[in-house]
């Protein structure tokens, strides 16, 4: 069986009008992001 190599998926979201990678946010914004509810 061939070993599968994985790559992290970079998540972007909007904060105060700017679209930025979530990994660049401060701890408070990341916590707020995880509390958000997603709607369709």
3-state secondary structure (DSSP) of residue 31: helix
3-state secondary structure (DSSP) of residue 19: strand
State the pLDDT confidence band at 1, using cuts at 50, 70 and 90: confident
In angstroms, rounded to a whole number, what is the distance separating the alpha carbons of residues 15 and 33? 10
Backbone angles phi, psi at 20, to 5 degrees: -135, 155
pLDDT number for residue 29: 86
Does pTM surpass 0.75?
no
Say if residues 11 and 24 touch (Cβ distance below 8 Å).
no
- Count CB-CB contacts under 10 A for residue 5: 5
pLDDT number for residue 3: 87
Structural domain boundaries in the chain: 11-40
pLDDT of 11 over the 80 cut: yes
pLDDT of 14-36, one tens digit each? 877 888 888 888 899 889 888 98
pLDDT number for residue 23: 87
User: Which DSSP symbol is given to 11?
Assistant: P
């Amino acid at each position: 069986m061939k070993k599968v190599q994985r790559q992290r998926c970079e998540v972007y979201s909007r904060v105060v009008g700017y679209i930025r990678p979530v990994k660049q946010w401060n701890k408070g914004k990341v916590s707020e992001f995880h509390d958000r509810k997603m709607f369709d």
